[in-house]
Amino acid sequence: MLLPKKYQEFLPLREVFLDRLFRSRAIPGPLPDKIVPVGHRGTMTYAPENTIAAHETAYQMGARCIEFDVRCTQDGHFIVFHDHDADRTTSGCGNVENLTLAEIQKFDAGSYKGEAFKGERVPTLRDALRNVKGRFAVDIDFKAGPKHSAEMLDEILEEEGFMNDGSPLVTIFARHNHFALLRSLAPKHALRPHYLGRRHARKMVKEHEIEIMGLRRYVFSFAAARNIRAHGLHLFSNTMSDEEHNDYEISYASAAKAGSLFIQTDFIDHLVQYLKSIDRLETRVLGRDYLPIEPTTPKTSGLDLPAGP
C-alpha cells in the first residue's frame, strides 16, 4: 500500500518516490513460506496489556511471538510494562523508575480491563520469560533502563536459558535513541532497529551485524521493505496504525506481500485468520536461527481466561 501523504515526511522524498516505483515489483529473494503472528503487548485488545493473562490469551488465539515492553524499577528489576507512569493500567500511581518492584507488584494490573482480570499483577521480565518459554518467540521492546541495561538483559537471557540450543528466538527492539546503549548485545542477541533509510540499513548490517529490522506501519512502503530484504535482513512489520482505522486485511496483505517474517498486531485473532486464509500461518516457534524449533509440550498458566471474540 502506498505511504499515506500525512506520513511521507517521516521518510526521505526519494523513498516516497521509490515506493511508487517498487510497489508492484518483486521483493528480493523468496518470500517466507510462513509468517509469525506477533501479539502486541500480548494482546492489549482482549486482556490487560503486558500481563501473563494477555500472553495466555494471545497463545490461545494463535500468536507464536509476544512483544514485551520492558523498563526498569527503582531497585533495578526489569518489569514488563509500557508506560512511564503506573496510573493508566494499574491501581497505583507514580513514575515506574521511582517505584520499587515490591511497590509495583502490589498494584492491580488487570481490573481496568474487566472484573475477570481483577488481581492480575505486573510481571517481571524473568516471570514473563519463564511463562512463555518453549511456546513463543519473544520481542523485547526496550523502553528505559540504566547505563548497564545491555549487561542486565544479557545476564537475564543467559540465566533463563534463552541462549541454549533449541531455545526460542528473542529479538530486542532498540530505538534510535537507545541503540548506543544496547548495541553491545549484537550479534550474540538479535538486536532489532527500525528502518530509517537505505544508508542506515547498510550501516546496521556492516557495522553491527544486524539480522532483523522493523518497519513501522505509518512509514510503510514497498521501497523500504525492498531495501530491508535486499540487505539480507528479516522483516518485522508493525500494523497497528492501520488497525486503528479497521484496515486489517489491507495491512496484513501488504505486510505479507512485502516479505515479512513477523507481523505484529493488536488484533491477533484477525491476523491469524488472515494468515490461515492464505496458507501462511506459522504455528511453530522460531529459534535463534529463525527456523522452527522442535515443539515442546505446551505449558499453561492455569488461568481461567475468557475466550476471545
Instruction: Give residue 242's pLDDT.
Output: 52
Instruction: Give residue 9's pLDDT.
Output: 43
Please tell me whether residue 272 adopts helix, strand or coil conformation: helix
What dotted CATH number matches 5-277?
3.20.20.190
Tell me what the mean pLDDT of segment 201-229 comes to. 90
Instruction: Give residue 304's pLDDT.
Output: 47
pLDDT at 77 over 60: yes
Cα 25 to the center of its chain, rounded Å: 27
Q: What is the DSSP letter of 91?
A: S
Share of the chain above pLDDT 90, in %: 76
- Residues marked active site are found at 40, 82
Segment 146-181, tens digit of pLDDT: 999 999 999 999 999 999 888 999 999 999 999 999
What is d(CA 190, CA 193) in angstroms, rounded to the nearest whole number? 10
Taking the model in full, what pTM does it have?
A: 0.86
What is d(CA 203, CA 207) in angstroms, rounded to the nearest whole number? 6
Instruction: Give residue 4's pLDDT.
Output: 46
Segment 78-107, tens digit of pLDDT: 999 999 999 999 999 999 999 999 999 999
pLDDT at 28 over 80: no
Segment 235-291, tens digit of pLDDT: 999 987 555 556 678 889 999 999 999 999 999 999 999 999 999 999 999 999 999
Tell me what the mean pLDDT of segment 133-158 comes to. 96
| Measured CA distances, 88 to 55, 71, 107, 138, 178 (Å) | 19, 16, 12, 24, 24
Q: If you average pLDDT over every residue of the chain, what do you get?
A: 87
Instruction: Select the more confidently predicted residue: 236 or 21.
Output: 236
Instruction: Select the more confidently predicted residue: 14 or 201.
Output: 201
Instruction: Give residue 308's pLDDT.
Output: 47
Confidence band, pLDDT 50/70/90 cuts, at residue 12: low
pLDDT at 120 over 50: yes
What is d(CA 156, CA 177) in angstroms, rounded to the nearest whole number? 22
> Which long-range contacts link 58-63 to residues 24+ away (Cβ below 8 Å)?
58/268, 59/132, 59/135, 59/136, 59/298, 60/305, 60/307, 60/308, 61/268, 61/269, 61/272, 61/308, 62/37, 62/268, 62/269, 62/272, 62/281, 62/283, 63/37, 63/38, 63/39, 63/136, 63/268, 63/272
Segment 43-64, tens digit of pLDDT: 999 999 999 999 999 999 999 9
Q: Which range (135-149, 153-167, 193-207, 292-306) has the least confidence?
A: 292-306
